[in-house]
Homo-oligomer: A and B are copies of this chain.
Amino acid sequence: MRWIMFVGVAIAALGGAAVTMIPASGQTDGEAAPIYGIKIPPGYRDWQLISVAREEGNFNDLRAQLGNDVAIRAYRDGTLPFPDGSIIVALHWNYVASEENNKAFGRSQSFVAGSPKNIQFMVKDSKKYAATGGWGFADFTDGKPADEAMHKTCFSCHEPIKARDFVFTRYAP
C-alpha cells in the first residue's frame, strides 16, 4: 500500500513537471495549412530554444526557433537527418524599440519582440513528405494558414541547405 501511494505521488509529481513540455502528439482543432496538411501543434510555445535571429529589410523582425523534444535531441546529438517526429517552429515578432531599456542603458540601442507576426513549422515525416526532403512546411498568422501559393515557396527556399537536412538554424549554445 505504501508503495502504491509512493508510486502515485511520484507519477503526479513527474506528470506535473512534464505537463508543459509533453511533445505535440496531436494537433489542434484549427485549420490545416495547404499542401502539407499541417495544423498548429499544441504546446509549441513551451518547446525549448534552438536559436534566435534578426531579419532586416522587408521582414524587419526578431525571431526565435524552438524545437520539440525529438528535434532538440537531434540537435544536441548532432543527428542528421532529423528523425521522423521532429518539429521546428520559428516565431516572428515585430522589431520594436524599447524606451524602457534605452533609458536604463542611457542610449538608443535596445530592440525587443513586439506584436507577433507569423509562425512557421517544419515537420519531419520521411514517408509523407518524401517529395520535399522529408519535411512538411506550414505558415500561420493569427492562427490562420497562409495560402497555397505561399506554401509552394517553402521547400525551394530550404533546398540549398540540403547538407544540414534542409534546416538553416544552428543550435546556439
Main secondary structure on A side of the interface with B = mixed
Please state the number of chain copies in the assembly: 2
Decide: B172 and A53 in contact? CB cutoff 8 A: no
> Out of B11, B104, B160, which one reaches A11, CB within 8 Å?
B11
Query: Among residues 141 to 172 in chain A, which have CB atoms less than 8 Å away from a CB atom of chain B?
Result: 157-158, 160-161, 168-170, 172
Chain B residues lying within 8 Å of A87, measured Cβ to Cβ, are none
CB nearest to A170 among chain B residues: B112
Q: Is A101 an interface residue (CB 8 A)?
A: yes
Q: How large is the interface on A (under 10, 10 to 19, 20 to 34, 35 or more residues)?
A: 35 or more
> Out of B52, B107, B168, which one reaches A101, CB within 8 Å?
B168
Chain B residues lying within 8 Å of A27, measured Cβ to Cβ, are none
CA A57 to CA B110, docked complex, whole Å: 9
> Out of B53, B158, B161, which one reaches A113, CB within 8 Å?
B53
> Out of B18, B56, B91, B103, which one reaches A160, CB within 8 Å?
B103
Chain B residues lying within 8 Å of A72, measured Cβ to Cβ, are 20
Least CB distance, A164 to chain B, in whole angstroms? 9
Chain B residues lying within 8 Å of A116, measured Cβ to Cβ, are 172-173
Q: Mark A1-16, 1 if CB is under 8 A from B, else 0.
A: 0000001001100110
Listed by A's residue number, 9 A-B pairs whose Cβ atoms lie within 8 Å are A17-B21, A45-B49, A46-B48, A51-B113, A55-B111, A56-B110, A64-B64, A91-B172, A100-B168
